[in-house]
Amino acid sequence: MKFKVPAVLLVAAMAVSACVTPLPPIVAPAGSQPAAPTTAPAAPAEEMAKDIVDTAVAAGSFTTLAAALEAAGLVDTLKGAGPFTVFAPTDEAFARLPAGTVEALLEDPKALGDILLYHVVPGKVMAADVVKLTSADTALGQPVDIKVEDGKVFINGAQVTTTDIAAANGVIHVIDSVILPPGN
């Protein structure tokens, strides 16, 4: 009898592990190192009900982005059906802008809206797909450049630091700086 219990547990463990679906790897283009950004852990089902805006607010590191979305009148848009891919600069990224820039942009909703729409790509583009691209058309109608260098992914020079933060209406990839459309 002593050998039956461990054998049953071993068989049960093997059966459970056979049902687990592995996550797809982030694949870098040929000749480059694997992408360095971290992938966000899978969100619990109750969090998946949150849209892009609520997901960003809940993260706690996008308060400036949330305020900017409000000032530009884009909250309802990004709460919409989507799907959207947002390259989201953190509060630290906004803090690195020259002094007075954020305040000036908050007073100019049109310019602020253009900058924010330049961070949004229509559709849900997961990290495994981002690394296969060289550019992506933004909601502003102007493309961003995508590069993989030394295993790191860059969007117009901004490094992607965390990928695949799932939301009910799309996905967020965290970037370390604010990207500006051409001419700004």
Domains and CATH numbers, the chain: 24-175 (2.30.180.10)
3-state secondary structure of 179: coil
Q: What is the dihedral of CA 142, 182, 114, 141, to 10 degrees?
A: -10
Res 83: pLDDT: 95
Kind plus residue range of the DSSP H or E element containing 153: strand 152-155
Rounded Cα–Cα distance for residues 114 and 96 (Å): 19
Please say if the pLDDT value at position 141 is more than 90.
Answer: yes
Three-state secondary-structure class, residue 34: coil
Task: Give the pLDDT band (50/70/90) at residue 106.
Answer: confident
**How many other CB atoms are found less than 10 A from the CB of residue 85?**
24
Residue 124 above 90 pLDDT?
A: yes
Mean pLDDT of 29-58: 60
Residue 142 confidence (pLDDT): 95
For the cut 60, the answer to whether the pLDDT of residue 23 exceeds it is: no
Give the single-character DSSP code of 89. Answer: E
Q: What is the mean pLDDT of residues 35-61?
A: 67
Mean pLDDT of the 106-114 span: 91
For residues 58-64, average pLDDT: 90
Number of H helices, E strands in the chain: 9, 8
Residues 100, 94: contact at Cβ < 8 Å? no
The pLDDT value recorded for residue 60 is: 86
What is the mean pLDDT of the segment spanning 40-54? 63
Q: What is the pLDDT of residue 2?
A: 39
Which structure tokens are listed for 167? 């939301």
CA distance 136 to 71: 25
For the segment 52-58, the average pLDDT, to the nearest whole number, is 91
- Whole-angstrom Cα distance, residue 162 to residue 174? 5
Mean of the per-residue pLDDT values of the chain = 78
Whether the pLDDT of residue 35 is over 60: the answer is no
- Return the closest-CA partner of residue 121 out of 171, 158, 65: 171
Angle between helices 63-72 and 52-59 (to 10 degrees): 140
